[in-house]
Each structure stands twice: as C-alpha cells, then as structure tokens.
Structure 1
Amino acid sequence: MAWQTFLQEFENYMHLERSLSENTVAAYCHDVLKLKQFLDISNPKDDPLKVNISDLHNFIEYINELGMADYTQARIISGLKAFFKYLTFEDLISENPAEQLEAPKLGRKLPDTLSFPEIEQVLNAVDLSESNGTRDRCMLEVLYSSGLRVSELINLRISNTYFDIGFLRVIGKGSKERLVPIGRSAQKFLKIYLNEVRVHVDVKPESRDIVFLNRFGAGLSRISVFTMVKKQVALAGIKKKVSPHTFRHSFATHLIEGGADLRAVQEMLGHESITTTEIYTHLDRDFLSQTLKDFHPRG
C-alpha cells in the first residue's frame, strides 16, 4: 500500500509542480512500478523509503540483461531519479539512493520562457477587484522582478524587505541568504498589498513576519502558488505550459538578452555554478546569430 500512496503523491507533484506531459508522468510512474516488480521478486520491500543504492544497481543490471535499448534504460533511470529526488525534496528520505546512477547524457533541455508581452498579458489578466487579486498580482510581479523560486516566495519575510534600497533578502537552497533587487512595479504592488490588503487579514502568530498569506492568515503552500499561476495564465489566454518557475526562467533570459553580466545574473538567481546560469543564454546566442546573418556582408 505504501508504494501506491507514494506513487499517487509523486504523480500529483509531477502534474502540479513540474507541469510534465501526461506521457512523461505515465512513463515515470511505470518506471517506478518496474522497480517495485523487480524488488517483489528479488528482495521484497513494502516501502520505497527502504530502497538503497544496491537495490537500484541490481535493478539496472537486470534490465540491462533483458536487452533493453540504451535509450529505454536511460529513460527508466531518469524516472527513478525523479521519484527519489521527489522523496528527498519532501524530506521523506535524507539521502537520494538514485543520485549516483549513471545514464547516457542526452543533452540539457532549455527552460521554457514567456516573452515580455506574454508576461504583461498574465500580469494584466489579474482581476484586482477579487479578494486575492492584489496579492496574486504582487506575487507574479515579485516572481518576475526578482527571479525567486517558489519556496523563496512563500517564505519571504516582511523583515527582509528593504524598500529604501530596493532589495529583498532571500533564503535560498541550503538556507543560503542572498540580496536580490526588486523592480519598481513589484515594489509598488508589494507596498499596496502590505499596507492596504494584508493589514486587514487576521494573521496567525507564527505567520506574522510572512509576506504572503492565505485567507486564514497562514503562509501559502507551493501548490497554491502553482494553482494561482495556472489560473492567471489561462485567463491571459496563453497556451504554453507555465509554472512559477517559468517566471524565474523568463527573468533570467530577459536580463541576459538585454546584455546583463552572466555573473550578476548568477548572483541574483542564487546559482552555485556559472554553468547553471549559462542555460539561459540560448536566446541571446540566437539573437547574435541572427544579427550576424542580417548585417554582416558574409553572413
């Protein structure tokens, strides 16, 4: 029963937070079931939290001996990594047993982005007359203005907003702090929300310093932010698969397209490595290539 429960929650996570296609979600769940079926035969475990690296190595060896194609094996390993990464992400396990599984490198997928007109479409689609309209517009403005992760947005604290210098203090991955600038429009909506909307909420004691609250006066969940973004994107008439992370991708891409220094963007995003930030340079390279074709005599 434990496997089925975790699989259902994993499936919900992939749909709501990762916005993966139906085919991908089905494939990943099927991959995890393959592992369960193998363990039922070789080393029964009633709980996926008990799976270790040895179990996974035995499973990979098994599917290799079955003669599965390299691409299929790589796909299965990808599914297993996604599943155990999810368990780690939810703090259900302390170490990811699939982290060291090796699979063929199939290339890095470029992140989806919204164009600036599409960003404006989404922002302008928010109905400010609705009860949560100002809060939702403010959250979208902050996501795009400062490139925050969802976890950073919902944990943003009033004491870490510095309007006098136009910066936010953000608690990122690994509890690492960084200062990120916040744009004028985002500042405007943040001030309106804090001074004219949030002050009328009956705030729970543990959430007094949390910026964004639900109608019960408590902090928001990641799921609620994902749901809000999907709603506003639909109202804007945009057909792309968009998540809160899309605003972070768009923030980085638009900065680099405009000529921003890569290391400055790395600092704002809170990336450990510059190579992580370099995935956002794809549009900039396309732009340079097109410029060469259009204007160089030998283009």
Structure 2
Amino acid sequence: MRETDAQRKAHALEDESRELGWRDPKAAARTWREWCPEWLRGFYAEDSSDSTTESLIRVHIMPKWGDVRLIDIDRHEIKAWAKEMQVEAGIAATSAKRVINAFSSSLTAAVDVGILSHNPCAKLNLGIPDNPSERTYTQKEQHRLFSELPSVLDQALVAILLGTGCRLGEALALEARHFNVQHSTVRFRQTWDSHNRKLKTYTKGKKRRTVPIDNWLLDLIKPLLKARPEGYLFRSRGGVPLDVANWRKRVWNKCSDEIGLNSAGKERGSIHTLRHTYATEQLEAGLSLAEIADLLGHSSITTTERYAHRRSKVGKKALGTIRDPRRAPKPKKRQKPRETRELPSNVIAFPGGR
C-alpha cells in the first residue's frame, strides 16, 4: 500500500472514530483523564507487573493528553509528541516508545469496549527499532555501585538481581525457604506486586524456575537467611516487602547518581539493567539463547522443568559468569615485547614456531 493510500485510510478511520458513541453517545467525548482510571482497572488486572506505567502516565501522558477528549486524539499529534519527548524533554528514543506503547494500550482498551472505532496509535511508525541494544553495567560500574550501597541488606538485594537475573518483584518475594544452600540454587515461584501491594503466588508468565547461584552471592545472602528464617528477606519493619518507590529514590537513584551511572553522554541505567547485565554475560560465556531464556523465565514451562534445580547443564555453565562485584576488577597487565634473536643462517624460521 502506498504512503498516500495508507494516510487516507488512517484519516478515514479517525473520522469514523469521531462519530460519538458506539454504545454510549457521550463515551468518546470524555477526556483521557476521565478514561484513565477505567482503563487502569482492567490493565492492572491483566498485567500488574508493569510498575513503570503509573510513572509514565504522571510524567508524560497526563500533562499532554489529560484534558483532551478521546475523539480528538490525533494521529499526527501523537507522532509530533514522540519527537517532542526526545528533542525537548531529552529522553531516549526507546523511553519515548515505552510512553507511546502505554498510551496506545489505553486507546486499544477504548476500542475493545466500543468507545472508539480505531486506535490512532495503531501501526504508528516512529522509526524506533523494536529490539534496541540494552544497556549493561561493566565490572567497574558494578564494583562502584556496591561500594556506594549503604547497607548489607541493600547489597544483598542488588546481588540477587545481578547474580540471578531475576525481576525486582521476584526478588522482593523471596523467603529463606526458596534457597537451597547445599545445592547453591534459588527457586523463584512467586512475585510481589508493588503497585497493588500484594503477593502473587506465581511469577510473570506463570513460570517457576530454579537458578544456580555463585559462591560470592551465597556469602552475601547467608547472613540474611540466618537472620530471617521466616517471612520475606527484603522487608520493611511492618513485615511486608520494601517499598519499591521509596527504595529506588532513597538508595538506587542516590547511589547511581553518586557514581555517575546516569551521567550525561551515557545511556541511563536502571534496576532492570542488572537483569540485562546478567543475560548478556551469560550469552558471552557461551550459553545458548534457549538456556538463558530458561534462567530468566522467558520460555514456556516444560515437562523436565521440575528437575532443573538438581543437575542441569544450564546450571553448571551459568556459575562463574557473574564476578563478585565487591572486588575491584584487576587492571590489565601490559605485555612485554618479546625478545628476538638472530637465527643462524642455516636455520629456517617457520611462522608461529614448530
């Protein structure tokens, strides 16, 4: 389809969506601010693991579209908005796309319930790749981060995220009973929903998995296992898991800014970057994509998954790839130039030696 034809069709669909009401004549005349709570009720019921959505709404979506009627949301304005976020607000292209995706989800929901006939965000070409390269932390950055963490509890939490590649909600739901010190493994079987402040007895994708852990991580976690044999390991005084927003502001952001992880000219890192770092280092260590997917909980449940925590090939390979971040990386040694000596005239020199 030619570009002009595609634009004509998109505009026709927009005109159609302006016809007030499929079911309720006044429904499409509501502002996005009025529609947002209704959308979120259904959205979080399906995917409450998206803890960043609330922030995206507050910082980016609500100021732009809060007072705009649903039928007045324009496709061209959305594309211009995406560029504004990158140029004027200075956020990364991938972050802009996350904002657009969240906004698009709200409009798709409006289509599903018959408020709009078409999502103006649908098939919106923003020129941003779907799978950009992910930011990872170098060994030097990992060491500097650990040096700034204020407490042993904070170090243990970051160590779990870095050393197992788990999601933050999975780490916050961990209890002592999920660790097998003898076999050096940890079992992820539940997650903490920080948005609704409740425990889910399953992980994202409903996949339970066992991940091997290195000795340096065991050293960090053992005192915590001994001190808290019951209940959540990473908990506040009230016994519930740490407040994510508070911990991010009080510990993570402060430490990251202190050591320059989010400095100008460098792609901004996040707590989730620890998971990307784990996956990248496993890949560089020689694990296959299928094996890494198994460790991260990306693949579907298989019949043999229940035996993964015993003696799996994945488990053996995975150990040793993440180094102890408490230790500073050793500086690379300069290689001394090799001494050469003149060979007798009757000796033939072969490249590379014998």
Please state which band the TM-score falls in when normalised by the shorter chain: 0.5 to 0.7
* Residues 32 and 164 of structure 1, relative CA distance in 2, 3 Å threshold: farther
Match of 1:221 in 2: 243
Match of 1:102 in 2: 123
Q: Which among 66, 70, 80 is matched to residue 72 of structure 1? A: 80
Q: Which among 3, 13, 33 is matched to residue 3 of structure 1? A: 33
Following superposition, the deviation at residue 25 of structure 1 comes to 7.7
* Residues 261 and 78 of structure 1, relative CA distance in 2, 3 Å threshold: closer
Cα distance in structure 1, aligned partners of 2:253 and 2:298: 26
Cα distance in structure 1, aligned partners of 2:60 and 2:237: 37
Q: Which among 49, 65, 68 is matched to residue 32 of structure 1? A: 65
Following superposition, the deviation at residue 148 of structure 1 comes to 0.9
* Residues 79 and 231 of structure 1, relative CA distance in 2, 3 Å threshold: closer
Following superposition, the deviation at residue 125 of structure 1 comes to 2.1
SS at match of 1:186: helix
Structure 2: runs of 5+ lacking an equivalent: 1-30, 41-50, 84-95, 107-117, 190-202, 301-354
Question: Any conservation in 1 of the 2:188–2:209 contact (CA below 8 Å)?
Answer: yes
Query: 1:68-147 alignment to 2 at 5 Å?
Result: 68=76, 71-72=79-80, 79-83=99-103, 101-104=122-125, 106-107=128-129, 108-127=131-150, 133-147=151-165
Question: Any conservation in 1 of the 2:137–2:274 contact (CA below 8 Å)?
Answer: yes
The TM-score with structure 1 as length reference comes to 0.59
Equivalent position amino acid for 2:166 in 1: L
Match of 2:350 in 1: none
Equivalent position amino acid for 1:230 in 2: N
Question: Any conservation in 2 of the 1:138–1:190 contact (CA below 8 Å)?
Answer: yes
* Residues 125 and 267 of structure 1, relative CA distance in 2, 3 Å threshold: same
Describe the superposition over 1:154-199 as per-residue Cα deviations: whole angstroms up to 9, x where unpaired: 1112211111111111132033211112221111111112324x47
Cα distance in structure 1, aligned partners of 2:142 and 2:35: 37
Describe the superposition over 1:253-279 as per-residue Cα deviations: whole angstroms up to 9, x where unpaired: 122223222221111111138xxxxxx
Describe the superposition over 1:56-84 as per-residue Cα deviations: whole angstroms up to 9, x where unpaired: xx84xxx24xxx28943877986453147
1:251 equivalent in alignment to 2:281: no
Structure 1: runs of 5+ lacking an equivalent: 11-15, 43-57, 87-96, 128-132, 200-207, 274-299
* Residues 4 and 139 of structure 1, relative CA distance in 2, 3 Å threshold: farther
Question: Any conservation in 1 of the 2:224–2:233 contact (CA below 8 Å)?
Answer: no
SS at match of 2:272: helix
SS at match of 1:244: coil
SS at match of 1:37: coil
Bigger proportion of residues as helix: 1
* Residues 78 and 150 of structure 1, relative CA distance in 2, 3 Å threshold: closer
The TM-score with structure 2 as length reference comes to 0.51
Match of 2:217 in 1: 186
Cα distance in structure 1, aligned partners of 2:262 and 2:279: 21
Q: Identity of aligned pairs, percent?
A: 20
Q: CA RMSD in A?
A: 4.1
Describe the superposition over 1:24-50 as per-residue Cα deviations: whole angstroms up to 9, x where unpaired: 9855444533xx5123xx5xxxxxxxx
Cα distance in structure 2, aligned partners of 1:106 and 1:161: 41
Describe the superposition over 1:90-137 as per-residue Cα deviations: whole angstroms up to 9, x where unpaired: xxxxxxx97x9332263133222111111111112224xxxxx11101
Match of 2:169 in 1: 151
Following superposition, the deviation at residue 237 of structure 1 comes to 4.1
Question: Any conservation in 1 of the 2:156–2:221 contact (CA below 8 Å)?
Answer: yes
